[in-house]
Structure 1
């Protein structure tokens, strides 16, 4: 099985709007499109995304770039401060999916799936795309095939 984890593209700076309503910048959109190009030809069965605006915009850009027909699955368990074990619980019966989320969750999730609890998070830039592989999704059993930064 494969799992791709994509951090949203560069977002507007913090300001008067809540964090969940920060949109992608033009640079962030360009970053996302470069990362989406890495997914062309991959077999993706679903795209799951955080409900935050910048993650939704990121997922939609990827969906359009890939010509992916199914709707984006918006889930609360991909918000920035979710525990990685809660995400892993949701992924038990899925395969070949793309997750679109935020740091610190992205870095912690990648580390957790490779090593288990207690390891430092992976460093992932905006629109960074990680690919994990494994026979099954078990904590500490996935192998990080690559992290690509646009």
Structure 2
């Protein structure tokens, strides 16, 4: 399984709720720089948090890649979710090449759990993991790119 984990791009600080925060122009540019690292890859699916900034990030990536499949919006990628719960969801997905679009602190904690190392993901950071199964400690971090 190949797993890419992308943190949303920079977002405005002002919004009625955290879930409604939108990407800034700088955030959009960050996302497009990260999307360039995914060019030529055959993603089976793009899963994204329902928060506006994650939805905008996933749409930018999908459009930049010309990915024909619709994004899959899932509540298990919101910032306060347990990384163990995400792994449980990933185990149920029978796909080989998946992109997750989510938030801090979930993305850094998830990476640490999957490969047993500590990581920090800034806005629009993109991690690539590889492994036979998405289990704690059994995936290898192939790359971590910061926008």
> TM-score of the superposition, structure 2-length normalised?
0.95
Runs of 4+ in 1 over 2 A off after TM superposition: none
**Aligned length, in residue pairs:** 145
3-state SS of paired residue (2:58) = helix
Matched, 1:149 2:146: yes
Give the C-alpha shift of residue 85 in structure 1: 0.5
Matched, 1:127 2:128: no
Give the C-alpha shift of residue 16 in structure 1: 4.6
Q: Which runs of 5+ in 2 are unaligned?
A: none
3-state SS of paired residue (1:91) = helix
Q: Which runs of 5+ in 1 are unaligned?
A: none
**C-alpha RMSD of matched pairs (Å):** 1.0
Matched, 1:104 2:142: no
3-state SS of paired residue (2:120) = coil
Matched, 1:2 2:34: no
2:82 aligns with 83
**Alpha-carbon spacing, 1:20–1:108, altered in 2? closer, same or farther (3 Å):** same
CA distance in 1, matches of 2:26, 2:103: 17
CA distance in 2, matches of 1:16, 1:140: 37
Deviations 1:1-22 (A, max 9, x none): 1100000000001x35100000
CA distance in 2, matches of 1:95, 1:86: 19
**Alpha-carbon spacing, 1:111–1:64, altered in 2? closer, same or farther (3 Å):** same
Give the C-alpha shift of residue 137 in structure 1: 1.7
CA distance in 1, matches of 2:85, 2:129: 18
3-state SS of paired residue (1:132) = strand
3-state SS of paired residue (1:106) = helix
